Chain A
Amino acid sequence: MPQKELFVAACVGNPNNADKFREAGLGKTETFWQRCIGWARIGPAGLAALMLVACDGPQSSLDPAGYDARRLADLFWVMFVGALVIWVGVMALAFYAARRRDSDPPPEGAANLLILGGGVIFSIAVLTALLVYGLLLMGQLRAYSGAG
């Protein structure tokens, strides 16, 4: 697992880690933006690696050994990525709203659109899709294990 190694190297004092850091653009002399770009390059890999490290373990539901568990782990990962994206989106929106400094505010119509689009249409769409996936999965699992 190369990501895992990279992450471990970055964190746990591998003799090469200074090089790896520099490769990834994380030196002292870089500007702020260069450093951001560097983190952006190493970040997702690191995060993914962290996730993988965090997933194993004898009782872990993310280290599946059976059919049901595998399907459920898939469900989890789908929801996890979805949740992350939505959370980042909402936070970004809130930040934009709070930091907005241009002189005239957006029209009231835009605000209503936001409430309708974000609160109603977007959430109904996402939730319906998820519900269909989840319920189908439930049917399959129950049929497979002979319950229900």
Chain B
Amino acid sequence: MTDNETTTSREDREQLRKEQEDRLLTAWSAPKSWRYWSAVNNSEVGQWYTLTALGFLVFAGVSALIMRAQLAVPENDLVSPDLYNQLFTLHGSVMMFLFAVPILEAVAILLLPELLAARDLPFPRLSAFGFWCFLIGGVFVCGSIFFTAAPSGGWFMYPPLTTDPVQSGIGADIWLLGLSFIEIASIAAAVELIVGVLKFRAPGMRINLIPLYAWYTLVVGGMILFAFPPLIAGDILLEMERAFDWPFFDADRGGSPLLWQHLFWIFGHPEVYIIFLPGVALMAMIVPTFAQRPVVGYSWIVLAAVGTGFLSFGLWVHHMYTTGLPSVSLGFFSAASTAVAIPTAVQLFAFIATVMLGRVVRSVPMLFAAGALAIFVLGGLSGVMVAMAPFDWQAHDTYFVVAHLHYVLIGGMLFPVIAGVYYYFPFVTAKALSEKVGRIGFWLMFVGFNVAFLPMHFTGLRGMPRRVYTYPEGLGWDWLNLISTIGAFTLAAGFALIVIDILRPKGNQPYCERNPWNAGTLEWLEEMPDKPWGVRSIPVVKHRYPLWKDPDFIGKVDRGEFYLPDAQELRRETMVTSVLDAEPIQCLRVPGPSFLPMITAGFTGAAFIAATFHLYWPTLAAGILALASLLFWLWTGTAEIPEKDEKDVGFGLSLPLYQSGPQSVGWWAMFITMLGDAAAFASLIFAYFFYWTIRSDFPNDVTSEGALIYYALGVAAVVGTWLLTLGARYWNLTGAVFASRLAMVGAIVLALLSVAALLAGPYVDGLDPRLHAYPAIVWILALWTVGHIGIGAIMLAYCFARSLAGRLTPRYDIDICNVTLYWHFAAITGVLAPMLVALFPLAA
């Protein structure tokens, strides 16, 4: 009797499990055939992203080989000087912007949800949008070389070389607009990843239990958020100078080429750590697995990573030691530059300590990790050398620097990435890469790399400048260069082997067993082959290495013994938790496949590309289409009103399906995006004060009384808009829907008035932006401000329409909450910028 009962209940359970799995499968399966390209799930998008970034690596690698072939012997004429310039510029830019940063975002998109036991990222369509932007922009920038129209001013694009239309041609525009477009995609991915780490962790995963990879992702995301905006601000200024002759960098008309160097390196130096830290993050996952023990010094590592992130923003001047800065600055930045070596050393020693306490399992990922250590440490040491300003006076712009930067980048990024490819290949494809090919590939790459780049230190010390297309015989560079070229081709051969192994069809190769490396972290919960739902049920996490702690952990997850084991409504659902303690606060429905991100990216790309060729009407048309598709996407795909308030997620826990304000992921995304936006605004303000510190003719005009009145009106209208927006949110919440709508309309009207007033200010003063850097920067600040107010007005109009359509109600008020948050920031911009522009000239 009892026997019978257990059998039936077991059968019931099996039956239930089967049904649950069917429902999850329906909800999460990737679309089929041509619709496959509408996929937005992190596994598909992550794979496309990774493969595309690897494709750009191959492209940039081939350009490097052509350069090395050209440099093999003196007075070579394989490529022309101009083509050589294009090659090194593209090589550097593609490696940095299209390979290094994207690959790490790609890997994070792929890994992060599984690592946190979430089913997707918070904004799947945003990742898809980022991917399509990346693909379009990248192909556009790389394609230019086939028309010998590629940028040729070096990857840091220094003016005045790059503002001279004859010297630079269309290439500089391609660089500025093509890459800005991609930088926006990078920022979008960063927002996505930050919100992911903050809000998508498995219940119970408090901040001291977060996997190190996720910590690094958080730090790097934050760095992208503050590092890219200065570059975007710089790009805007440079492009304005190129397209409309606004003299920001022209010393004859009140500008300064040094401003570009500052803006570029405020971005460029953190960039190096943005590239390097994710490499360390991969090591932080690989090393404990193969040492078969938890990482030693978890808190040290987290602290060091955060410290590196902060310090890296204080080093940029070490790229400018030879620009004639005062000794005090040089001393300060020398000290800061050496200081950053300390947290780096802490992280590396923590890994060595982990290995020491563990028992190492030899494997290809570990081999690459060891190679990375050997290379990176050397790069770090030569970095300390060039951090000494006096030594840098000698080494600056020589091959010593080329050697140094490749040691850092290849040791800090390329080798860890390949280690990661070997480690995570089974995770993505459920098949393993060949161990033997891996070892041969490693040794070819490792030896080839050192043969190529070690001699370059000496080539540089013996006086060979970087970025020269050829050199005369007899200066002592001939043999060294030949050796470097041989090494580069050896390195390439090793890499090619690995690529072949990655691409080789693996049809009859058996699947890996589950958790093939016997790792301890959550991403290895995954079945082999992988199921589209990510995790079968969302576990409660109480340990840093749950798979090691509890041998039956995988079993429990599989049997659906944790949260959300089902998809009753056939929707894609995952859990949102609180920022610090990861307590469950919402069951979030994430959107499924859609072509809208692709279409929006297409129009946005078209706008940027048309602008490159100065086709302003098509730019405008494409821009309007992009905005329309964006609004359509938001309207149909976001802030959806659920059919019920709450949902039972298991364990008797019922979670709301809708949250707004700081509880919702959308609010966090807006907040984080606006921090980045504020960073760009701060960069423009920095530019204003920079001119003032170095030029006696700045400002070269005083604000007239008439203009002052306009500025004052503008500021008053901005404040009014902000207050009305606050009112709209408040009245909506309290149910006074009509008052709320009225406030929205009033806010829009005031916003438009403020736009007119703020433009009238510089206009009545007769400021001509082509005459001097002062009027130019005033106009840029004015345009920046009214641009933000204009976008804010569109947002308010959107809310108004949503309210009329019944999609924004007192209970369901995400839209107006997020728009209010936007207006907090826009109001700060709208008050600060006009006050600065109007009053500073009077005070100065």
Contact = CB atoms under 8 A, between A and B. Distances in A.
Contacts of B555: none
A61 B401 CA distance: 14
Contacts of B348: 90, 119
Contacts of B326: 148
Interface residues of A, number: 52
A11 interface: no
B308 to A, nearest CB: 12
B374 interface: yes
Contacts of A98: 355, 360, 370
Given A57-B476, A58-B475, A148-B326, A123 B342 contact: yes
B370 A127 contact: no
Interface stretch (B69-77, B328-336, B660-668): B328-336
Contacts of A122: 345
Q: How large is the interface on B (under 10, 10 to 19, 20 to 34, 35 or more residues)?
A: 35 or more
Contacts of A106: 356-357
Given A56-B476, A72-B394, A111-B357, A142 B461 contact: no
Contacts of B338: 127, 130-131
Contacts of B421: none
Interface in A108-128: 108, 110-112, 114-115, 118-120, 122-124, 127
A104 B780 CA distance: 66
Interface string B329-353: 0110011001101100111111011
A138 interface: yes
Interface stretch (A1-9, A34-42, A79-87): A79-87
B327 interface: yes
A130 B388 contact: yes
B163 to A, nearest CB: 28
A80 B390 CA distance: 15
A106 B359 CA distance: 11
Contact of B353 (A60, A71, A111): A111
Interface string A89-111: 01101101110100001101011
Given A134-B389, A138-B327, A83 B381 contact: yes
A139 interface: yes
Given A94-B355, A111-B356, A119 B345 contact: yes
A93 B358 CA distance: 14
A142 B390 CA distance: 9
Given A86-B381, A97-B352, A54 B462 contact: yes
B296 A108 contact: yes
A18 interface: no
A47 interface: no
B385 interface: yes
A83 B390 contact: no
Contacts of A131: 334-335, 338, 388
Given A59-B463, A60-B476, A79 B390 contact: no
Contact of B462 (A60, A90, A93, A134): A60
A74 to B, nearest CB: 10
A64 to B, nearest CB: 10
B356 A97 contact: yes
B330 A115 contact: no
B382 interface: yes
Nearest to B355: A97
B352 A59 contact: no
Interface in B381-426: 381-382, 384-385, 388-391, 393-395
Contacts of A80: 385
B473 to A, nearest CB: 12
A69 to B, nearest CB: 8
B331 A138 contact: yes
A118 B356 CA distance: 14
A61 B461 contact: yes
B463 A61 contact: yes
B82 to A, nearest CB: 25
Q: Chain A interface mostly helix, strand, loop or mixed?
A: helix
Contacts of B355: 94, 97-98
Contacts of B350: 115, 119
A141 to B, nearest CB: 6
Nearest to B324: A147
Given A72-B393, A119-B349, A79 B475 contact: no
A137 interface: yes
Contacts of B358: 105
B391 A100 contact: no
A93 B352 contact: yes
A138 B360 CA distance: 46
A75 interface: yes
B470 to A, nearest CB: 15
B720 interface: no
Contacts of A58: 463, 475-476
B632 interface: no
A115 B327 contact: no
A141 B458 contact: no
A120 B342 contact: yes
B378 interface: yes
A62 B353 CA distance: 38
A58 B474 CA distance: 9
Contacts of A48: none
A122 B296 CA distance: 19
Contacts of B382: 83
A67 interface: no
Contacts of B296: 108, 111-112, 115
Contacts of A134: 334, 388-391
A110 B353 CA distance: 8
Most chain B CB inside 10 Å of its own CB: which residue of A106, A127, A130? A127
A111 to B, nearest CB: 4
A65 interface: no
B391 A123 contact: no
A61 B395 CA distance: 9
A49 to B, nearest CB: 14
A69 B476 CA distance: 19
A33 B354 CA distance: 32
29 contacts: A54-B458, A54-B462, A57-B462, A57-B477, A59-B462, A61-B463, A62-B462, A72-B390, A72-B394, A87-B381, A90-B377, A91-B374, A93-B352, A94-B352, A100-B356, A110-B356, A111-B353, A111-B357, A112-B353, A114-B352, A115-B297, A119-B345, A123-B345, A130-B338, A130-B384, A130-B388, A131-B338, A138-B327, A142-B327
Given A56-B476, A148-B326, 18 more contacts: A57-B476, A60-B476, A61-B463, A62-B462, A79-B384, A83-B384, A87-B378, A90-B348, A94-B373, A97-B356, A106-B356, A112-B353, A114-B352, A118-B352, A127-B338, A131-B334, A134-B391, A138-B390
User: 7 nearest interchain CB pairs?
Assistant: A59-B463, A57-B476, A119-B346, A97-B356, A111-B353, A134-B388, A83-B381
